Structure 1
């Protein structure tokens, strides 16, 4: 009697292959277009303050042909945010600003802040996507990078939309009749952050009114950045970069990877970050896009966040 072991092995192999094909079809052809908004409420405003609606956008990695994403992002203006927080990696192609304009133009007139990710400076390059699961990508310079027109991007964000550039900088905004202080750094994953320049800038800003709520904005949520942001007095921190892991195990509370040293359970969504005796809310956006060379999302939908800031206590 012939053994059934080879037949069983082939059946199992076929089943695994079928699952893999189905997962690829879902992640590449379906889920990366299933844009979603995550809603949160965070009590950090002074007593008696009216609520403020903050739209957190990150990691669009925009290419000009991505019309579905552009249309969905443009419709976010219908949420009527009071403030936009943009945590970088806006463009992922040399002509990505064309698509970004279609996505962001409806937000014109709404106060905003932004910081850079590396893909606001250099275009993505082809690489083995499986290396992403080994550990964080290299943060140093790479001569193969193609430069993007960062000056044009910043001109659009800062001059046309009127958003505040927080790359290693601080500033104050009037948001729905309330003042909000803000500070931020450029991409810590590339070592472009200058945390050392912030204390003096913040001290000068806060001399005007230290009771004003203050937010910290970064692209990459490295522990050293988050710790310093808490020490510098941030009442809430916004970050992106991780893509939420981009490919996750369905139902798992933790990402498989984060491309930085943040705990994997905090690589997506609203959590809290503690440094010594202070704990502040931290929102890490899973982002709206992906590299054009890794067009997949699995168990990690592209997202924006609408965070309603309310009075504390």
Structure 2
């Protein structure tokens, strides 16, 4: 009898993780005091790790509906694509948000189609760079840029956001060796950093170049979280306890705040989430006390 209940429990967990929780999209809201004194509040929608496949209609509807929130800036931290034929559906569901000011960086899955992997390996070390078909990345990034979003892959830009002058710096995906911080000089202007994968070397590099607020994705929040223990992996060298949410960092006397979004998707070859609902983050940046 005990064996029956164990099997029944495992089956219930599997059904919940695969068929239900992955569809329970949520908007997590938070306020962070980080802007210089006298700044206006900035409402930031952080979206990432969409991993879109063409048949994922519920996810597309959720993304389209995000425009109903008051948004001053969209921050997209990459891994938008989850299928070779996802670019057009992605652009269609993002269209309302593309009409908002935005900045973005890419993740590895914006360059390469997903391939089957052993998910258990993620627990013990970060996954290797994918060896799979290349995607039409430029089609996606060109559409983002034509809509007015700013490409921050190893680039910087200064923008007016909600009446505030903000410098943005970003890196392409460190996880596949595309990041390059060398041309991102330090600045005295208030700076926001973007990266897809929150490796410690990237957090250090962005912080030392003046980023006081950093947005990242990649971790999926752990994707599978164990009660009490939390995330079992971040697929990087970021400690597991920082797999999602907000944390503070200090490097050589310079401080930054990191926001990691657990993302809206997962690989089509690992269609599971447990105690880790798919999310976007709606963050109100406020002036410091």
Q: TM-score range by the shorter chain?
A: over 0.9
The answer to whether the Cα contact below 8 Å between 1:71 and 1:102 also exists between their aligned partners in 2 is no
2:133 pairs, out of 133, 142, 146, with 146
Match in the other structure for 2:62: 72
1:202-252 per-residue CA deviation (whole Å, 9 max, x = no partner) reads 5xxx4xxx3x42101000000111111111110100000000110111344
1:270-295 per-residue CA deviation (whole Å, 9 max, x = no partner) reads 11112132322110110010111111
Q: What is the CA-CA distance between 1:156 and the residue it aligns to?
A: 1.2
Q: What is the CA-CA distance between 1:133 and the residue it aligns to?
A: 2.3
Match in the other structure for 1:192: 178
Q: What is the CA-CA distance between 1:103 and the residue it aligns to?
A: 2.0
1:1-53 per-residue CA deviation (whole Å, 9 max, x = no partner) reads xxxxxxxxxx3332222211111000001000000111111112222222110
1:266 maps onto 2:242 in alignment: yes
The answer to whether the Cα contact below 8 Å between 1:65 and 1:99 also exists between their aligned partners in 2 is no
Distance 2:34 2:225 in 1: 31
The answer to whether the Cα contact below 8 Å between 2:41 and 2:162 also exists between their aligned partners in 1 is no
162-171 or 91-100, larger mean C-alpha shift: 91-100
Match in the other structure for 1:177: 163
SS of the residue 2:60 aligns to: helix
The answer to whether the Cα contact below 8 Å between 1:67 and 1:99 also exists between their aligned partners in 2 is no
Q: What is the CA-CA distance between 1:176 and the residue it aligns to?
A: 2.1
SS of the residue 1:196 aligns to: coil
Match in the other structure for 1:28: 18
Residue correspondence of structure 1 range 4-43 to structure 2 within 5 A: 11-43=1-33
- Number of aligned residue pairs: 289
294-303 or 267-276, larger mean C-alpha shift: 267-276
Larger radius of gyration: 1
The answer to whether the Cα contact below 8 Å between 2:46 and 2:281 also exists between their aligned partners in 1 is yes
SS of the residue 1:146 aligns to: coil
2:114 pairs, out of 118, 121, 124, with 124
Residue correspondence of structure 1 range 90-169 to structure 2 within 5 A: 90-139=80-129, 142=131, 145-159=132-146, 161-169=147-155
List runs of 5+ in structure 1 lacking aligned partners.
1-10
TM-score by length of 2: 0.96
Distance 1:150 1:113 in 2: 16
Residue correspondence of structure 1 range 42-53 to structure 2 within 5 A: 42-53=32-43
The answer to whether the Cα contact below 8 Å between 2:91 and 2:140 also exists between their aligned partners in 1 is no
Distance 1:105 1:147 in 2: 24
Q: What is the CA-CA distance between 1:312 and the residue it aligns to?
A: 1.1
SS of the residue 1:64 aligns to: coil
